Amino acid sequence: MTVTASLKTAAQAPRYSIANTYGDSRAASFRYRMRRFEHLKPLIERIIAEKGRCRIADIGGTEYYWAIFGSFVEDHPIEIDLINLNPQKVTKAAFRSIAGDATSLTDMADDAYDLVHSNSVIEHVGNWDKMRAFAANVRRLAPVYFVQTPNFWFPYEPHFRAPFFHWLPEPVRCTLLMKLNLGFGGQRVTIHSAMRGLQSVNIIGKSQLQALFPDACIIHERAFGLTKSFMAVRNER
């Protein structure tokens, strides 16, 4: 097998997948999402108590994500619109897939939903101006929102699944992506694919998140005594 063929094989078979990272109840990532849900759950339950139902816009969401929380959605009067660049497969009546760019949702009215949820998405939307546009849409689409994102200052990079990776200079990270099977994308074959992978993620810190969501309470999610990620939460407008 040639070196090129070997690289292509590695790129097609990354070490990590969504299923073995987030779907395994024994995995740390699964447990963190469950703990995170304990902050989200009372927001949903309060809205249901007040309105009789809860309409949720999940930006970047999937039906698979909500399945982690068991039968919670099925057991409550909840409607969830999954807003993604590309349509998502849905199998349950509570879900609807909507194709749209979260930085430009001009066709959606203010307060169209009761709650906006987004888990580990804002770091993928692009540069700072794109993040500001994303945050503005989150804040106007519902009176309540819950936005989670990894912390830049946590030493483990969750997308490439490697310690200290995001703190290295970009050329070094590019080289590592071409030499090693890192993260969900596997080993990159070309510089172009490596750079696209790197620049698809822009992790931010607390002060940046607070600037994007000035009316939110910032909750720290901790691991090993350090802040692993942040949750920007607004209970009401």
SS (H, E, C) the chain: CCHHHHHHHHHHCCCCCHHHHHCCCCCHHHHHHHHHHHHHHHHHHHHHHHHCCEEEEEECCCHHHHHCCCCCCCCCCEEEEEEECCCCCCCCCCEEEEECCCCCCCCCCCCCCCEEEEECCHHHCCCHHHHHHHHHHHHHHCCEEEEEEEECCCCEECCCCEECHHHCCHHHHHHHHHHCCCCCCCCCCCHHHHHHHHCCCCCECHHHHHHHCCCCEEEEEEECCEEEEEEEEECCC
pLDDT of residue 77: 98
pLDDT of residue 9: 45
Assess whether pLDDT exceeds 60 at residue 32.
Answer: yes
Kindly indicate the confidence band of residue 25, based on its pLDDT and cuts at 50, 70 and 90: low
Assess whether pLDDT exceeds 50 at residue 5.
Answer: no
pLDDT of residue 143: 98
pLDDT of residue 227: 98
Kindly indicate the confidence band of residue 4, based on its pLDDT and cuts at 50, 70 and 90: very low
Domains and their CATH numbers in the chain: 26-159+202-234 (3.40.50.150)
Assess whether pLDDT exceeds 50 at residue 90.
Answer: yes
Percentage with pLDDT > 90 across the chain: 81
Tens of pLDDT, residues 120-134:
999 999 999 999 999
For residues 207-221, average pLDDT? 98
Kindly indicate the confidence band of residue 8, based on its pLDDT and cuts at 50, 70 and 90: very low
pLDDT of residue 149: 98
Kindly indicate the confidence band of residue 34, based on its pLDDT and cuts at 50, 70 and 90: confident
Among 4-13, 53-62, 191-200, 210-219, the least confident range: 4-13
pLDDT of residue 235: 96
For residues 78-89, average pLDDT? 96
Bigger pLDDT: 88 vs 110:
110
Kindly indicate the confidence band of residue 20, based on its pLDDT and cuts at 50, 70 and 90: low
Kindly indicate the confidence band of residue 22, based on its pLDDT and cuts at 50, 70 and 90: low
